[in-house]
Amino acid sequence: MKTDTDEQDLYESQDDHLAKQRYRRRVTMGQVALIAIVIAAWHFGSGRLLDPFFVGNPVGVGKVLINDLGDPRFWNDLRVTGIEMTLGYLLGGLSGIALGMLFARWRIAADIFDPFFTGLNSLPRIALAPLLVIWFGIDMASKVVLAATLVFFLTFFTTLSGIRNVDPALVDVARLVGASERQIFRYVMLPGAAAWVIIGLKMSLPYALIGVIVGEFLVASSGLGYRLNFYSTSYNTNGTFAMLLVMMALMMGLNGLMGLLERYALRWRAEMTTAIQGY
């Protein structure tokens, strides 16, 4: 039998859902309007206020995009970049998370390696790119490693910080119910650090693409970076902007997928925290 309180909670839940839908629609409309304004300003400014040689124009960019989308070589370049980015992201992300978890449990090792990792992280990756080409060749491996180095440090530091900043009250509750240190680490500290890990993965995603593009820009025979280099060195401004738009669209799509993963991970963490607090 439903009470007045239950019905009130149901109405409030429905109102919140409708409010969120209205807010998302407003955000979407704002984003579409912003894109339209930028394109319109670009179109009318090119040739009137600015030299098209330097800024191109939307119509020319659209023509390049249409031509590229009909070119099998473009899809091969997209496939190559996608493979290199995925491998570099997985290699750097998994190794960064694993080492962050290890150092979170092994405090002395973390303190010993901390200044060295900080120093390595400060190195400009563009300076490492020629060395990586010498070590791993001009093929896919050098781009994968370059992307992995960018992803690794972000995921490592966020994982380490996340585990170290878990709420001590949750750890105390787990100890009170008789959990071992391994169980505390697995069922309390890791879920508690999930938000930090996801943030690290989300922040490092664009850097995986940047690492691959930089590697392809320097030396490659295929990939979006190679195509971008071709357009820029041939002074094709519209082609350069077209490739930049392709990279932006690719990253926006991947960022959307990471947003779904983030919501799922944080919901799982919240359920785990609620279960622990219920003891």
| 197/192 Cα distance (integer angstroms) | 10
pLDDT score recorded for residue 259: 80
Domain assignments of the chain as residue spans, ordered by start: 1-45, 56-277
Residue 26 and residue 15: Cα distance in Å, rounded? 16
Contact (Cβ atoms closer than 8 angstroms) between residue 131 and residue 73: no
List pLDDT tens digits, range 90-135. Answer: 999 999 999 988 888 788 888 888 888 888 888 887 778 788 888 8
Q: Residues 68-94: pLDDT tens digits? A: 888 899 999 999 999 999 999 999 999
List phi, psi (to 5°) of 46. Answer: -70, 125
Average pLDDT over residues 207-233: 88
Q: Which residue has the higher pLDDT, 12 or 267?
A: 267
* CATH code of the region 56-277: 1.10.3720.10
pTM of this structure: 0.80
The pLDDT > 70 percentage for the chain reads: 86
Place of tokens 């779904």: 260
